[in-house]
Amino acid sequence: MSSHFTLQMLPSRSSNLGILQLNNPSALNALTLDMVRSLNAVLPQWQADPSLKSTLMYGSNECRRPAFCSGGDVRAVYDAGIAPKAGEEHGWGKRGLVTSDFFREEYTLNHRIATQTKPQVSLWDGIVMGGGVGLSIHGKYRIATENTIFAMPETGIGLFPDVGGMYWLPRLKGGLGNYIALTGCRLKGDDLLYAGIATHFVPSEKLDDLKEALVEATTSSETDGDCVASLLMSFHEEPSKSESSSFLEKHRNDIDATFGKDKSSMEEIVDSLHQLPSASAEDTFGKETISTLSKMSPTSLKVTLEGIRRGAALPDIAKVLKMEFRMCQGFMRTSPTSDFYEGIRAVLVEKDYKAKWNPATLEDVTDDMVESFFQELGEEHELILEEKDGDEMSKL
């Protein structure tokens, strides 16, 4: 089926349903370059097959905890960039370097998923972070369960919420996009439904039944249209309400007041958090959010906020991904900052969780430094995407 075969990605077909199983359980199904290449080979074949009606993507159930995909394999990117070989110049989009090839091919995959015409169903049963979000957020249907833990935690590793994040985050209501992007907050199923990030909620105990039903629906359908929409609605349930229901809904007013689209700088966001009144002693949203932001890379925070502002003004996912490729290459360089390498060291290599960001404060991150992350890479090194009529179709 594919010339890019890897046991970490298991494509198969059941009747008229294409099935994509992420199979990297030792790393919570983290997305490797081999997996990206396998998907980039398989998906065009399936999209060209008129008999295939839909695709289903889910993670291996052999992980030590439930996981759809815990993110991209940024450790491999770190290893390639932290000790460059003679003559290598990382951070300028040059082909043949992992620090550029991984993102170029991953973003190409994100674009392919966003513009495919056949509905993709992704089962978010467990951890969904970073690169795992990119595999699924642009597909038509995203199914949360009681096990779902969703996050874009990149500002905590000296990067930014990429894989199309600069497209869908600013298109969320109010201050939700800025809040999710900058804080890396972990969201559960009820939060995802509230924000419009997940399309359905299905208890994990019913996922096997759903899989079987999807096969049957694609087998019996004679239409060229969406044959899974009504089926998914028949499985959809409202999450059980508990005392701690949707965090985003509970704190929506504070989120909009402090992270709203009218906030033009990180300094303004932090100031508004300091000024947030507390309704009670238990109301600690402002203090806790300030504490969270203080742990993030100041450069990442400012570049992310600027990327969201620019992404909101771009008309389609292709143009946003091209911008994101320039941004990610900025983080692969060691000047004006090496926060990506420091962040990965602190979180994934030495695991001391004591990153020493440079610059260390928001005030020291200048406008010129932020602008450097958006500079052109030169025609031969830019991200080139095949233009499609559906480029505006990212499904969120």
Would you name the residues annotated as active-site residues? Answer: 72, 131, 154, 162
Local structure of residue 346 (DSSP, 8 states): I
CB atoms within 10 A of CB 46: 18
Backbone angles phi, psi at 121, to 5 degrees: -110, 120
| Of 179, 121, 186, nearest in space to 148 by CA | 186
CB atoms within 10 A of CB 278: 11
CB atoms within 10 A of CB 268: 13
DSSP letters spanning 84-145? PPTT--TTS--TT-HHHHHHHHHHHHHHHHHH-SSPEEEEE-SEEETHHHHHHTTSSEEEE-
Query: Who's near 224: CB < 8 A, 6+ residues apart?
Result: 50
Give, rounded to a whole angstrom, the gap between the first and last alpha carbons of the chain.
29
The H or E element spanning position 341 is: helix 339-344
| Half-sphere exposure in the Cβ direction for 385 (13 Å, CA) | 29
